[in-house]
Amino acid sequence: MAILVVADHDRGMLAPSTARVVSAAAALGAPVDVLVAGEGAEIVARAAASLNGIARVRLADAAALRAQPAETLTPLLLRLAGDYTHIVLSAGAVGRDVAPRLAAKLGLMPVTDIIAILGPDRFERPIYAGNAIQTVHAPQPFQVLTVRASAFRPAGSAATSASVEPLEPEGLPALVRQLSEARTEGDRPDLATARIVVAGGISVGSAEGFKMIEALARALGAAVGATRAAVDAGYAPNDWQVGQTGKIVAPDLYIGIGISGALQHLAGIQGARRIIAINTDPEAPLMKLADYALVGDLFEIVPLLTARIEAT
């Protein structure tokens, strides 16, 4: 058995999800290689090589791999597949694009959104918006897997770095050309990998009200999240949405402010280690689920909390 993890990276930086996918892959119990595919990705490859538990990093550096399109990454992975029994990607934008295409080309079933590795062909994954956990037995000669990175602890740093071996990525099809990219810039941590998330619901009342949520997040060094109701009302941007149709978060601490705890929202926070809920209604589902439930008006509690944290 041998495993290939496909690294996530962005703007010359290895994404935090890769260390988590490596630790998931290590649970399969075989040597783990990491593929870094991109353009000018030497620094990313060196960062990946410093992760604990890596046998080697394979670096495919080519202009056609700049945005890691599935149309180019899949033929590269097909070339490498003969060296491995498992190809593991994070269940992010690239993984969701590549895994079905790769599996179809190999004539097998991809197993997606894995939250636990039970064996080389046994995995757990959430279904029904996280309301049930499915155990999948996939007795096939080769596995294409996507892993919900937030469900795994990140691999640490190795005492000595693994080797970085360049590949010859000539002849890859350049069917897709990236014309532009639009990014939301911000100084807050990334929601999907933040240690602390402060999220607001519809009862925050306005985009102005969300400034209060942001102030608390800033005081805690946290990312800001929101419910779909708050996003639909225009109080918070789309990319703050947490839940079934938003982002999946797995912070050490999740603070839900004026959030009822609808199933679709809870689907996004199941990996949170501790939950604090602030709500006027002690019967709200999130209050019942929370480790600490503060019953009261968010407009009184949040400024007090922020001031107290800023004062310490």
Binding-site positions for FAD: 227-228, 241-245, 258-265, 279
Number of residues that bind ligand FAD (CB under 6 A): 28
Smallest gap from Cβ 45 to ligand FAD, in A, equals: 35
Pairing, β 13-14 against β 9-10: antiparallel
Contact 2, 33 (CB under 8 A): yes
Query: Closest CB to ligand FAD among 117 and 229?
Result: 229
Query: Closest CB to ligand FAD among 186 and 205?
Result: 205
Smallest gap from Cβ 257 to ligand FAD, in A, equals: 7
Smallest gap from Cβ 67 to ligand FAD, in A, equals: 26
User: Bridge-partner residues for 13, per DSSP?
Assistant: 10
Query: Closest CB to ligand FAD among 172 and 202?
Result: 202
CB nearest ligand FAD: which residue?
Answer: 243
DSSP notation for 172-197? ---------------SSPPGGG-SEE
Residues 228-267 that bind ligand FAD (CB under 6 A): 228-230, 241-246, 258-260, 262, 264-265
Query: Closest CB to ligand FAD among 1 and 128?
Result: 128
Site string for ligand FAD, 196-235 (x = CB under 6 A): -----xxx-----------------------xxxx-----
Smallest gap from Cβ 82 to ligand FAD, in A, equals: 40
C-alpha to C-alpha distances, 271 to 152, 171, 194, 253, 275, nearest whole angstrom: 9, 42, 12, 10, 10
CA-closest candidate to residue 107, choices 72, 142, 79 = 142
Sign of the Cα pseudo-torsion (191, 196, 198, 199, in order): positive
Smallest gap from Cβ 250 to ligand FAD, in A, equals: 15
Q: Copy the structure tokens of residue 161.
A: 């770095």
Query: Closest CB to ligand FAD among 75 and 126?
Result: 126
Residue whose tokens read 């996939």? 138
Residue ranges of the binding site: 227-228, 241-245, 258-265, 279
Query: Closest CB to ligand FAD among 90 and 227?
Result: 227
Those residues whose C-beta lies under 8 Å from the C-beta of residue 119, and which sit 6 or more positions away, are: none
Q: Contacting ligand FAD (CB under 6 A), which of 83, 252, 297, 310? A: 297
Smallest gap from Cβ 227 to ligand FAD, in A, equals: 3
Query: Closest CB to ligand FAD among 229 and 305?
Result: 229
Collapsed DSSP state (helix, strand, coil) of residue 310:
helix
**Cα angle 149-113-126, degrees, rounded to a multiple of 5:** 110
Q: Does 6 bind ligand FAD (CB under 6 A)?
A: no
C-alpha to C-alpha distances, 174 to 58, 113, 171, 224, 267, nearest whole angstrom: 20, 28, 9, 37, 37
Smallest gap from Cβ 34 to ligand FAD, in A, equals: 31
Round the CA-based radius of gyration of the chain to a whole number and report it.
21
Which residues sit at the interface with ligand FAD, rule CB under 6 A?
A: 201-203, 227-230, 241-246, 258-260, 262, 264-265, 268, 278-281, 284, 297-299
